[in-house]
Structure 1
Amino acid sequence: MPARRDLFKMGAASALAMVARLHAAGLKLPSTVVGPDQTTITREPFGDLAIYFSGPTGQVESMTAGSLRLKPGMSPHAPHEHPEEEFMVITEGAGEISVNGKVTNVTAGSMMYCAAGKLHGIVNTGKDPLMFYFYKWKA
């Protein structure tokens, strides 16, 4: 099994697959700082995805923190729901976030919270990339 530090060098899909193994082995995410040069960028048709942290912590069963630079006119996926709570912080660009069917225009400085099991989504409605950071966890 890879060391915890190796988790941060893996691509997004590989990092997410490691969550169950970390949890089963009783390993927790270490206290550390990760710079943008220490993540693996996954280039998707809709934009560039980076996962900074993914795994259990001392307080939660699972946690994922990352960023997405979303291309103009794009959405990473249709509105969806999942068992984790989630925050999104918009740092660049303009778009729309939907939460339970309510659509809100967002720009840099906007923040979303979505409870577990609630339908939500994001779309870039601007002419420039929309950058946001996301934090999901399950206690």
Structure 2
Amino acid sequence: MDRREFLAVMTALTGGALASEAMAQSGQQITHVDTKTGGPLLQSSVVKLEGLQAEGAAPGAKAYVHFNGPTEQLAALASGLVTLEPGAQPHPPHRHPEEEIMIVGDGSGEFSINGVATQVKTGDMVFAEANELHGVRNTGTTRMTFYFIKMMPRR
């Protein structure tokens, strides 16, 4: 089993938080947003991009988190945007217990779902079911921006 297969298995067994920890411990630099299920409920508000700090350690990949926490209806909701320089990816393909929608705002790249890669460009949208292996890479020649929304229901 290679490291990528190991990480995919770890993600499926333990969820997104431990998988990103495993990736970080492997020495691989990643940019990943762990969805928060604890803390105060999110409140209706406006979050301006210019007030956010970039997160992440993957070369050429920066995440900006607008909202992250539980809501009245969801155990967790995380949303924000990621910028990828040409050739960059935030992390290897991974799985997590949340459903995720990703919307390409600028540029072009490639999203993979369960090993099937699809070229995407501005305006395209991706849906990844809970625990489905998925990933993204900028395959274009300019910066790619995509928006993400991760949702986990209350059980």
What is the TM-score with the length of structure 2 in the denominator? Answer: 0.73
CA distance in 2, matches of 1:57, 1:21: 10
CA distance in 2, matches of 1:35, 1:128: 24
Task: Quote the sequence identity (%).
Answer: 37
| Number of aligned positions between the proteins | 122
Q: Is the 8 A contact 2:38 2:70 kept in 1?
A: no
Q: CA deviation at 1:38?
A: 2.2
Q: Is the 8 A contact 1:16 1:55 kept in 2?
A: no
Of 33, 40, 49, 2:46 maps to 33
What is the TM-score with the length of structure 1 in the denominator? Answer: 0.81
Q: Is the 8 A contact 1:49 1:69 kept in 2?
A: yes
Q: CA deviation at 1:16?
A: 5.1
Q: Note closer, same or farther for the CA distance 1:43–1:116 as it changes in structure 2 (3 Å cut).
A: closer
SS at match of 2:50: helix
CA distance in 2, matches of 1:61, 1:29: 11
Question: Considering only aligned residues, what root-mean-square deviation do their CA atoms show, in Å?
Answer: 2.0
| Larger strand proportion of the pair | 1
Q: CA deviation at 1:46?
A: 2.7
1:89-124 alpha-carbon deviations (Å, 9 max, x no partner):
001111000011221100000000010010000000
Compare 94-103 and 104-113 and name the one that shifted more.
Answer: 94-103
2:47 is aligned with 1:59: no
CA distance in 2, matches of 1:120, 1:49: 17
Number of the residue aligned with 1:96: 110
1:28-57 alpha-carbon deviations (Å, 9 max, x no partner):
100001111222222632322100000001
Structure 2 stretches of 5 or more lacking a match?
1-30
Number of the residue aligned with 2:10: none
Of 120, 128, 132, 2:134 maps to 120
Q: Is the 8 A contact 2:37 2:75 kept in 1?
A: no
CA distance in 2, matches of 1:75, 1:123: 4
SS at match of 1:41: coil
Number of the residue aligned with 1:47: 61
Q: Note closer, same or farther for the CA distance 1:79–1:39 as it changes in structure 2 (3 Å cut).
A: same
Of 84, 87, 109, 2:98 maps to 84
Of 74, 77, 85, 1:71 maps to 85
Compare 39-48 and 110-119 and name the one that shifted more.
Answer: 39-48
